[in-house]
Amino acid sequence: MWGEADGLAGVGQGGAVGDLVDRPAGIEGIVAKAAHGTYAPGERAWIKVKQRETVEVIVGAVIGHIEHPAALVAGLYVDGELTIVGRTGQLTDRHARALATHLTPAAPGHPWPDRMLANRFSPGRDRVTLTKVQPTLVVEVAADSARQGNGWRHGLRYLRVRTDLALEDLPGS
């Protein structure tokens, strides 16, 4: 399929293309095609190689029920205030069940709104209800390098709970 003859040796293996994407040059990723390839409308003959990073965030709310969350709403402390920085995609049933054991309902005075935009492309009317949780759980997520304001432009991918980290271990805390 793809290989050295196509000019894409090492894609995703730390080779020439992988090294380019790993450079902190402010790019979101690259699009690669075979050396002899041309653009063909409607065909998926090119490869998108995204720049991704793993980062630890605080779970400040969930979408869905606390006993079986559908997605996590992630936060970080910015200028001393817990700020929403993104949300995960849909959690698997296994992840939702495991995360539920770590979540506690929020105490009064939680700083986040009760509702947020359903997605970043929403015209402003589509909102989802947040189930606020005590912001004490640290999780590791994978995120595209693209940022918008204090958060990530694209959805986060939940990786794991970080019980080995305390809030104080995160930047800005």
| Residue 93 bridge partners (DSSP) | none
The dihedral over CA atoms of 145, 150, 154, 157, expressed in degrees to the nearest 10, equals 80
CATH code for the part of the protein at 52-169: 2.40.50.140
Residue 140 has a pLDDT of 97
pLDDT tens profile 53-103: 889 999 999 999 999 999 999 999 999 999 999 999 999 999 999 999 999
Residue ranges covered by each domain of the chain: 4-50, 52-169
Q: Does residue 30 register a pLDDT over 70? A: yes
Predicted pLDDT of residue 75: 96
Per-residue confidence band for 48, with pLDDT thresholds at 50, 70 and 90: confident
* Of 26, 173, 6, residue with least CA distance to 17: 6
CA dihedral 125, 130, 146, 38 (to 10 degrees): -60
- Using the predicted structure, report yes or no on whether residue 132 has a pLDDT greater than 70: yes
Predicted confidence band at 107 (pLDDT cuts at 50, 70, 90)? very high
- Bigger pLDDT: 24 or 159? 159
